[in-house]
Amino acid sequence: MEKPPKIKTRLTEMFAMDYPIIGAPMFLVSNKAMVVASSQCGGMGTFPALNFRPIEKYESMVKELRSDLKAKPFGINVIVQKSNKHQYRQVEIAIEQKVPLIITSLGNPKEVIAKTRGTDTKVFCDVVGLKHAQKVADQGADGLIVVGSGAGGHGGETSLFALIPWLRQHIDLPMVAAGCMTDGRSLGAALSLGADGIYMGTRIIASQEAQVTDAYKQAIIDADCEDIINTDRVDGFPGNFIKTPELEKVLKPNFVDNILSQNRRVKRAVSLMRAGRALLGSQDQKLSYKNTFSAGQGVALIHEIKDIQSIFWETAANYRAQLAEMPH
């Protein structure tokens, strides 16, 4: 298809993008091809730093992307908690290579924000509510990734229809809507609520560039909203996953887990243990990111596998078509 006209928002102005669409960083999913395709077609590609280990491999990937994309923007997601022992070096490398965007998750981004002040790197922080959003805004964050209910992975508990306008009443930072963003209708809804762009995660798992199994892609195509299960049994934190026989088997009531959950400190320790196991565990363990299909409720709107350029361009074109058809 012909490239659609640009869509101007604070996000596109900040990063010199044509469209306010970011390919979300997804653990064990986002790869170089997905990042490059997302950035080259006018959006922005991102990836989790932990997708490339050891740290030397991560550094090489950042340098390759910086060279291949030249002036095109891309971003890196850094987990800012103790389970990620390389977080400080990951941030340092990003700053050294003038990566345009660092996205922080699952922890306090204060040190990351401080390290990037006066550099070419912006920091956006994952948030699910006003308290944390206000805290990172006060710390100097450049923008927010607003994660609503129904998002793949570690989604929030509040609908974006309430969450974005609520945050917008209190905070004047660029906001990216995350959760069930699949097409031009999603983009239009997000912008009308006060967001400046959207995250596309689950939608681009079902892409030609994604190097996940065919079973994973087909599970997304086949699933409906009701097939998404929220559980903390995968990595210790509540997350959304596609219902499969393997997942349901592990989710059956467990006497030991029920006992452990009665003690907050023990429950926290078990959560951290599961996080480490999910991040670094072996391929053949019962449950991990390697054998469990993370996805959001937007699966119900995904019906075919396409290349990322087509997904982004169709989203931009459909957004303008939706505007023309809106009652006025």
DSSP string spanning 3-27?
PPPP---HHHHHHT-SSSEEE---T
Sign of the torsion formed by the C-alpha atoms of 22, 23, 24 and 25 = negative
pTM over 0.75? The answer is: yes
Residues 258 and 124 in one domain: no
CB under 8 Å to 264, separation ≥6 — which residues?
A: none
What integer pLDDT is reported at residue 245 of this predicted model? 84
CATH number for the domain that contains residue 86: 3.20.20.70
CB under 8 Å to 187, separation ≥6 — which residues?
A: 7, 20, 21, 181, 198, 315, 316, 318, 319
- The residues with which 126 forms a beta bridge, in sequence order, are 145
Q: How far apart are CA 116 and CA 108, in angstroms?
A: 15
Residues 53 and 84 in one domain: yes
3-class SS of residue 115: helix
Domain interval for residue 260: 214-280
Q: How far apart are CA 163 and CA 245, in angstroms?
A: 33
User: Residue 292 falls within a domain, yes or no?
Assistant: no
Q: How far apart are CA 122 and CA 136, in angstroms?
A: 13
Residues 131 and 262 in one domain: no
Residues 161 and 220 in one domain: no
What integer pLDDT is reported at residue 326 of this predicted model? 86
Taking phi over 0 as left and psi of -120 to 50 as alpha, with beta for the rest, 119 belongs to beta
Q: How far apart are CA 34 and CA 202, in angstroms?
A: 13
Residues 69 and 111 in one domain: yes
Residues 74 and 221 in one domain: no
Look up residue 306 and give its DSSP letter. Answer: B
Q: How far apart are CA 209 and CA 154, in angstroms?
A: 23
Residues 110 and 230 in one domain: no
Residues 84 and 228 in one domain: no
Look up residue 49 and give its DSSP letter. Answer: G
3-class SS of residue 65: helix
- For the chain, the residue count is 328
Contact present, 211 and 31 (Cβ < 8 Å): yes
Residues 172 and 252 in one domain: no
User: Residue 132 falls within a domain, yes or no?
Assistant: yes
Residues 163 and 268 in one domain: no
pLDDT tens, N- to C-terminus, the chain (328 residues): 899 999 999 999 999 999 999 999 999 999 999 999 999 999 999 999 999 999 999 999 999 999 999 999 999 999 998 889 899 999 999 999 999 999 999 899 999 999 999 999 999 999 999 999 999 999 999 999 999 999 998 888 999 999 999 999 999 999 999 999 999 999 999 999 999 999 999 999 999 999 999 999 999 999 999 999 998 877 777 889 999 888 888 777 664 555 555 555 644 554 444 444 554 454 444 545 566 899 999 999 999 999 999 999 999 999 999 998 888 7
Longest Cα–Cα distance of the chain, Å, equals 59
User: Residue 294 falls within a domain, yes or no?
Assistant: no
What integer pLDDT is reported at residue 218 of this predicted model? 95
User: Residue 143 falls within a domain, yes or no?
Assistant: yes
Residues 76 and 205 in one domain: yes
Q: Which amino acid is at 41?
A: C
186-to-181, 189, 192, 315 alpha-carbon distances in Å: 5, 5, 10, 9
3-class SS of residue 37: helix
What integer pLDDT is reported at residue 119 of this predicted model? 96
Report how many domains make up the chain.
2
User: How many other C-beta atoms are found inside a 10 Å radius of the C-beta of residue 179?
Assistant: 28
User: Residue 289 falls within a domain, yes or no?
Assistant: no
User: Residue 4 falls within a domain, yes or no?
Assistant: no
What integer pLDDT is reported at residue 184 of this predicted model? 97
User: Residue 328 falls within a domain, yes or no?
Assistant: no
Triad 141, 28, 98: Cα angle to 5°: 40
What integer pLDDT is reported at residue 254 of this predicted model? 60
Q: How far apart are CA 312 and CA 201, in angstroms?
A: 12
Sign of the torsion formed by the C-alpha atoms of 209, 281, 61 and 97 = positive
Residues 182 and 247 in one domain: no
User: Residue 293 falls within a domain, yes or no?
Assistant: no
Question: Could you tell me whether strands 228-231 and 239-242 are parallel, antiparallel, or unpaired per DSSP bridges?
Answer: antiparallel
Contact present, 94 and 121 (Cβ < 8 Å): yes
